[in-house]
A and B are shown apart, each in its own frame.
Chain A
């Protein structure tokens, strides 16, 4: 809604295009249809997780347990399917989502009911959920060979030449982005992140809203868990080990303030795509994986510095613009009154 936000997202898209152009110049295979599809697919999974993470961070919380939830959902749902090969895909999704929902509710309970700061609570559940799925798996790996074809087909279905997964991510981004700026609940999240104390004074139910974001984040992770298994075929208990890192990176680079209250879900989605392109670029150019980490780190620090500079400039411009209008308003007000 504010001009600054729109500009910020336009800037992100521009940055994305520049990165794509850079990679293409060094390695034209980047634009190859199959390659782009791989990039899109890996972007989608992180993107959906980042959407939930963005809402959590906007509300001045953080969810570190996303990777563990994705792994739990992936393993439990794939495990069920391996034992019921004729089972419906709807059921697989239902199981994955339920696992995510329950784990998100667990986070909500710790943060809202037990009043444990989110960073500590989800650091704890990160270990607990991961530990639980490792124990549940008992070292097993569920490979694509023992799962029905319909499972992997989920990741291969195309609509209008574009993978269904990409459509799903786009749709979720649009829906959540819309909800964040056009529903009262969405706006309350921004308010809560901006000043929790004021939220109490205007009667925003903090507990309810915080529970909502953690449960939603869990649910999205549960959903992604099934997609993850479908995309990679083989599922084990240690998959997505640093997804929390990727998701938070996407959110921060996407312009969501780590202190809550500002930024957008769209930005986080674009951030996820940017990282997918960077990762692909590093692979295509045959660079050491170290470069990916270095580039990711540089991207995070660079954008954060850039944003704070921009914010400071915008604030100054606002102050000055406001002064001028107040000066004029003064004359008008008294002249009229």
Chain B
């Protein structure tokens, strides 16, 4: 990998936040025409590396070299001027501005000194099509979900025609169709000689897309080598410094009486006639492309969105939650898809976020919270989830993305609901913690909790679920039992068009 002079190089870069050293002497070379994959556990320091390269935070020590010459970027605009484009882990979008303007903010096309809105809308539309995303470019971004926001972040960076492209977990929220397309685009950019840094928690992406791999652990570089010389097992071992637990260990659990019964659920604009039963101890997988309606179903069940039609019964009694509070009283919990928008109070410490759902239970006669019990509970779950933090009082906003997700999961597991809805629970979570979460979820099912698992990760759904419902454009299109799933058929059911439905024999059509 030293054959080519690096376009961008980090040498001995260090960074500390207060007393915590987040990066220690990290070296990283990005060569033109090569993809460098950066891997590591949640909190290993990957995003910190990205923010240093992007000019958003300043390193405390070490140098950043561009074409061999040391540079210090004065802010994101300066990095961009030097040809560095960045896809951040949390899309940096403006909710009130349109999709098109978010892509072009600060560099809107102009004609005769004025912003050419028509050209901007047209170009934005084309750029999104390159990623096969059809989003109305005139919509304000606040009308969009997390996957579309990430697509905007990606398109924005791709359209910069940069020499260095940095992507921090670009594939964590978009669906497999867009991921495929993104990889095609990355291959093209590689041929054009762009130097690419790629971060992901998916081992197959790290080894498949990366030419070189660097693994960070606790802010230090553990190894840097060609991807071809690493096996998946070695990669994971380098990341967590130990052998990983088995993924997807869904233990056999007796499926009990139906706890949740849903009939003809319709609403949220496009969900139509969704019916299913969920038994105690059962894990029901909901699979589909982004925009298939999975999260909307979850939101209707949890009282966030009022359905237009349909019924829901919990343990035999009709339930019509009109708010999340009501849904929680009925024994439902929802781990939402977008932790920034729906899940966490970022300025709060970890403890306060984790115990938010059970404050009433923790408080005594006077409404005062029993801090001892609260701390114990928070500590227990922080440990179980392996949250990397200085302690339960660390402000949630300063956690790494994956660790925020773990806190969110703790928050919804702590109340021990009857029906637990998990919307993308392992998105952005490192392998070790992912195995841990799978183990916890499986354990909860064995104890009789009824679980709905929404995920884009096909192997995860297949490994964990007792039954899988596939949704497309708001309708239930196929059902697979645990022992009869076929990943290919499931993906096809999720993506294919109405006209080739009849030609897919592997499908069992839902009655």
Which residues of A are at the interface with B, using a C-beta cutoff of 8 A?
1-2, 178, 181-184, 187-188, 190-191, 193-195, 197-205, 257, 261-262, 315-316, 318-335, 337
Contacts and interface: CB of A to CB of B under 8 A. Distances in A.
Given A195-B93, A318-B139, 6 more contacts: A187-B97, A190-B96, A201-B54, A202-B106, A203-B77, A331-B498
A190 B136 contact: no
Contact of A332 (B77, B134, B499): B134
B78, B80, B134: residue with the most chain A Cβ atoms closer than 10 Å = B134
B228 interface: no
A191 B102 CA distance: 9
B139 A322 contact: yes
Contacts of A199: 94
28 contacts: A1-B98, A183-B115, A184-B108, A184-B115, A187-B115, A190-B96, A191-B94, A191-B97, A191-B101, A191-B105, A191-B106, A195-B92, A198-B92, A202-B76, A202-B106, A203-B77, A203-B79, A205-B77, A261-B95, A319-B268, A320-B268, A324-B270, A325-B134, A327-B473, A331-B497, A333-B177, A334-B496, A335-B497
Contact of B94 (A195, A327, A334): A195
A319 B143 CA distance: 6
Contacts of A324: 269-270
Contacts of A195: 92-95
Q: Give the dominant DSSP class at B's interface.
A: loop
Contacts of B78: 203
B134 A329 contact: yes
Contacts of A331: 497-498
A326 to B, nearest CB: 4
A201 B92 contact: yes
Ranked nearest first, the 10 interchain pairs of A and B with the lowest CB-CB distance are A203-B77, A329-B134, A320-B269, A203-B76, A201-B92, A261-B96, A194-B94, A198-B92, A318-B143, A327-B473
Nearest to B100: A1
A267 B142 CA distance: 22
A198, A325, A334: residue with the most chain B Cβ atoms closer than 10 Å = A198
B75 interface: yes
Interface of B: 54-56, 75-80, 88, 92-98, 101, 105-108, 110, 114-115, 117, 132, 134-136, 138-140, 142-144, 177, 268-270, 289, 291, 293, 472-474, 495-499
A204 B95 contact: no
Nearest to B271: A323
A178 B106 CA distance: 17
A323 B76 contact: no
Q: Give the dominant DSSP class at A's interface.
A: helix
Contacts of B496: 334
Given A203-B76, A323-B291, A188 B105 contact: yes
Contacts of A182: 114-115
Contacts of A316: 269
Contacts of A2: 98, 138, 140
Contacts of A198: 92-94
Contacts of A326: 134-135, 291, 473
B132 A202 contact: no
Nearest to A263: B96
B94 A261 contact: yes
Contact of A190 (B94, B139, B495): B94
A316 B79 CA distance: 38
Contacts of B54: 201
A315 B94 contact: no
Contact of A181 (B115, B138, B472, B499): B115
Contacts of B495: 330, 334
Contacts of A191: 94, 97, 101, 105-106
A190 B291 contact: no
B56 A200 contact: yes
Contacts of B142: 315
A327 B96 contact: no
A321 B291 CA distance: 12
A293 to B, nearest CB: 31
A326 B498 CA distance: 15
Contacts of A194: 94-97
B270 A318 contact: no
A205 to B, nearest CB: 7
